[in-house]
Amino acid sequence: NVEEEKKDTVLKEEGTKEEEKPELKEEEVKAQLDKMETKKPTKQVCVSLYLARSLFVCVCVSLSLCVSLCVCVALSLSLCVCVSLSLCLTVVPPSPQFHMVIGQLDEGLYNLNFHYCENILPGTNRPYNLNVEVTEKNPGGYLSAAEILLPRLYIFMAGVFFIIAMVWVYTLLKHRYSVFKIHWLMAALAFTKSISLVFHSINYHFINTEGHPIEGWAVMYYITHLLKGVLLFITLALIGTGWAFVKYILSDKEKKIFMIVIPLQVLANVAYIIIESTEEGSSEYTLWKKVLFLVDLICCGAILFPVVWSIRHLQEASSTDGKGDINLLVLTAMKLKLFRHYYVMIVCYIYFTRIVAILLKVTVPFQWQWCYEFLVEVSTLIFFVLTGYKFRPASNNPYQQPLPLDEEDVERDEVVTESGMLEGISKVKKTSDGRERQKKSNM
């Protein structure tokens, strides 16, 4: 029985254990359910945190991408700006600018000087390029105070020279029987001078209004100025030799004078054109200015030689004719006096237009420097008038009387006379009263 009781107790205990086990399972299930219920929000919180973290990472990445893009854009813009600035600096160098307004109390002659500091040291000669744009303007125009009156001065003097030329042509037509070819050459010189002054005035007018010369008017002025200069020295030299007045043949030494004067005058006018069309600061300006001054002085000295030769020839003729006819001696003395006066006139003309005028330009204030051009034009006008008066076509002028020939002219006359082509040809000569006198040749 004891054993049975032990078995019953064991069986009871196992039954209780079996009964307890399901209870424990339910509790475990409940506990697991509770754990599951508690685990669900934690999982949801983790998921939300994970999503928030991923969104934050995406935002950060996007922000970093945006920042990187902005940095790239900024860098590209800075690179473009740097490249554009470098291109600007290489293609178009920096150009400093300044603006000056000068009042009435500060009026004067100003110089703009440029110094390249790299070439100050001796032995250094580095090349450089310099482009300067200067705009200078007065209230009345672009001309300076020394040049603002020049257009009116030139047009006024052109009118005066034209009137003088018309009076000279009227005198030639009135005394047509006493007119020589040199008289018409003098008329052509006066008209050319007038036309040259007209073109000069027009050229200065456009410089004053536009700020630069008009090419067509400038070329016309240069052409007429060249013709005027050549005609002036040819006319003065022909009058000095007595050509057409007293003889129709030039000696060899007189021809050499023309062979020297005419090319030099062309060179002088070319130098003048180059000076007018270049700036004062250039090296060519200084060179051609010296060439112009030198060549002009040589031409002025060369035209004095024919006058001196004519005076010497007349002196010799007066000494040889002293023992002969007294009328011929008086005529020779009158011619000698005329050519001496002409020599003095040429010297005074050269002195006033080449020396006194330059001294006046240097000494007077800047606003009165137009007086230099005024003195040159007035001196030229007085010289033209006196030359025309001394050698006017009239019956009582001593130059229309026959002049004794020198040895060279006699030899040349003999050569012309002995030519077979002139056999039987008679010579017609005009007398002082306008009548024609015929001389038969002795051939």
Residue pLDDT, tens place only, 176-201: 888 888 899 999 999 999 999 999 99
Confidence band of 160 (pLDDT split at 50, 70, 90):
very high
Amino acid at 126: R
Provide mean pLDDT across the span 292-317. Answer: 87
User: What is the reported pLDDT for 427?
Assistant: 44
User: What is the reported pLDDT for 246?
Assistant: 58
Confidence band of 116 (pLDDT split at 50, 70, 90):
confident
Residue 385's alpha-carbon distances to 163, 253, 285, in angstroms, are 12, 29, 34
Structure tokens at 40: 């669900």
Topology of the domain comprising 150-435: Rhopdopsin 7-helix transmembrane proteins (1.20.1070)
More confident residue, 49 or 110: 110
Residue pLDDT, tens place only, 6-21: 555 655 555 554 444 4
Residue pLDDT, tens place only, 45-87: 444 444 555 555 555 555 555 555 554 444 444 433 333 333 3
Asked if residue 272 has pLDDT above 70, the reply is: yes
- Judged by average pLDDT, the poorest of 153-157, 220-224, 302-306 is 302-306
Amino acid at 432: S
Asked if residue 31 has pLDDT above 60, the reply is: no
- Judged by average pLDDT, the poorest of 85-89, 247-251, 306-310, 390-394 is 85-89
- Which candidate, 96, 183, 179, 161, places its Cα nearest to that of 133? 96
More confident residue, 55 or 366: 366
Confidence band of 22 (pLDDT split at 50, 70, 90):
very low
Statement: the pTM of the whole predicted model exceeds 0.95: no
Report the chain's mean pLDDT, rounded to a whole number.
74
Provide mean pLDDT across the span 138-156. Answer: 90
Provide mean pLDDT across the span 293-314. Answer: 88
Asked if residue 431 has pLDDT above 80, the reply is: no
Asked if residue 26 has pLDDT above 70, the reply is: no
Apex 59 CA angle, 58 and 65, nearest 5: 90
Domain residue limits, the chain: 150-435
Provide mean pLDDT across the span 349-356. Answer: 91
Q: Alpha-carbon distance 443 to 296, whole Å?
A: 47
Structure tokens at 116: 């390249």
Structure tokens at 73: 């854009």
DSSP annotation string for 398-429: GGGSPPPP-HHHHHHHHHHHT-GGGTT--EEE
Asked if residue 223 has pLDDT above 90, the reply is: yes
User: What is the reported pLDDT for 181?
Assistant: 87
What share of the chain in percent tops pLDDT 70?
Answer: 64
